[in-house]
Amino acid sequence: MTARSDIRRVAIIGAGNGGCAAAVDLTQRGFEVRLWGRSASTIEPLIEADGIEYEGALGTGKLRPALISGDLAQVMRGTDLVLIMGPTHAHEEISRALTPHLTVDQLVMAAPGHTLLLIPATVRRLGGRLDTYCDATTLPYICRKLSPAKVRVSRTAKVLMFAAFPGEITSEAAARIAPVLPAITPTPSLLHTVFPYTNAVHHPPALLLNIGRVEATGGDYCHYFEGITPSVGRLIDSLDDERIAVGAAFGVTVERLPDYFFRIGYTTAEGRAGGAYGVFHHSEPNRWIKAPASVGHRFFDEDVPFGLVALSELGRLGGVGTGLIDAVIAVAGAAVGQDFRRNGLTLDRMGVTGLSRDRLIGLLHTGE
């Protein structure tokens, strides 16, 4: 990878919660932002409103990025950074859409990422040209859309685990990305952005153990503050233990959920000492977030197949048992009538099928 000019033009792929928050943030900071959404129902209200309304940590107001469009070719043309902010379960679809329009000089980043080589493998399989790929563990914001054209940003991330492929170019990629996303924290390889994805171990069990309440009330309660009781918290802690064990099998030191939330500023010292239950009962950014209105929500649709299934698959490769993770995958799938494992982030979808643990570690570091 050769040195290039500073990033000024950014294509944001995905006009949901994170995409709209990023469009506001980067436009405020002087970047030329072009925003694209996968569906007409997402992008057209923003076009009709002629911009994005916002409130919260980024202030209150309305602004218009340089371009809001459903024309992907127009959005991507001439941009320096292609920032994928769609959900991980849409990464394959997004990659197929991007491939005809990618140029070799564009840097591609996914936030959230944590899908290993799914995106670069898909692009290359389709004959596309992808020079530098990088990702972050999660979105750079805690945010929710209040309406189709308005977003509330509760908090911007203080720490965003970041890596490039191959890992040996991470420092160079980070130097380019840092002015855009200052919270990035470089790590050795893409494996190090998979295991810190804590949503996988707290969203699915909290929704699963409150599934009757969601269906009866339409989610009329605070998901984290009321839905994560001491018993739910204990299950989350046990799932977290399995996540940490799988990471260790790949040489990745993984922070416990309470330590990670404390470090990124999402809970207090008191919350940190109280396990998952304590974390969420002392998490001001998450406290008032309502539960999903239905079980057809990303807490299942994304965090089970593209969070828990990935941990299960890597556990199998690394020789680590994931009994509780496998149980949540199975029970959640039975409850909503979906085969999350078949449709999830398998080793094949990650682009690493047939590799041993050691071969995978080497590939992610050197690219060979």
Residues 18 and 121 in one domain: yes
pLDDT at 1: 40
Residues 178 and 222 in one domain: no
Domain count for the chain, please give it.
Answer: 2
Residues 155 and 249 in one domain: no
163-191 per-position pLDDT tens digit: 999 999 999 999 999 999 999 999 999 99
CATH code of the domain in which 15 resides = 3.40.50.720
Question: pTM here?
Answer: 0.91
Mean pLDDT for the chain overall:
95
130 SS3 class = coil
Calpha distance 355→353 (Å, rounded): 6
Mean pLDDT lowest among 125-129, 214-218, 326-330, 336-340: 125-129
pLDDT at 311: 98
Residues 136 and 78 in one domain: yes
Q: How many CA atoms lie within 13 A of 186 on its CB side?
A: 16
Q: Which of 194, 214, 233 is the last residue of a domain?
A: 194
Place of tokens 């420092």: 171
pLDDT at 6: 87
Strands of the sheet with 52-56, listed across from one edge: 61-63, 52-56, 150-156, 141-147
Calpha distance 140→14 (Å, rounded): 14
Across the range 264-279, mean pLDDT stands at 94
Could you tell me if residue 216 is inside a domain?
Answer: yes
pLDDT at 2: 40
367 SS3 class = coil
Residues 185 and 125 in one domain: yes
Residues 172 and 204 in one domain: no
Residues 253 and 303 in one domain: yes
pLDDT at 264: 84
Calpha distance 30→253 (Å, rounded): 37
pLDDT band at 368 (very low <50, low <70, confident <90, very high): confident
Across the range 2-14, mean pLDDT stands at 80
pLDDT at 135: 97
Residues 213 and 324 in one domain: yes
Q: Which of 194, 213, 235 is the last residue of a domain?
A: 194
Would the pLDDT of 357 be above 90?
yes
Could you tell me if residue 343 is inside a domain?
Answer: no
pLDDT at 285: 86
The residues, any chain, with a CB within 8 Å of residue 42's CB and separated by 6 or more, are 15, 16, 148
Calpha distance 50→68 (Å, rounded): 8
Would the pLDDT of 5 be above 60?
no
Could you tell me if residue 359 is inside a domain?
Answer: no
Query: What DSSP designation does 289 have?
Result: P
Q: 147 phi and psi, to 5 degrees? A: -160, 175
Would the pLDDT of 37 be above 60?
yes
Could you tell me if residue 355 is inside a domain?
Answer: no
Q: 308 phi and psi, to 5 degrees? A: -65, -40
Could you tell me if residue 363 is inside a domain?
Answer: no
pLDDT band at 3 (very low <50, low <70, confident <90, very high): very low
Radius of gyration of the chain (CA): 19
Task: Using alpha carbons only, give the angle 39, 40, 44 rounded to the nearest 5 degrees.
Answer: 130
Query: Which residue range is the domain that position 218 belongs to?
Result: 199-337
Across the range 307-335, mean pLDDT stands at 98
pLDDT at 115: 96
pLDDT band at 265 (very low <50, low <70, confident <90, very high): confident
Would the pLDDT of 4 be above 80?
no
CATH code of the domain in which 292 resides = 1.10.1040.10
Calpha distance 303→121 (Å, rounded): 21
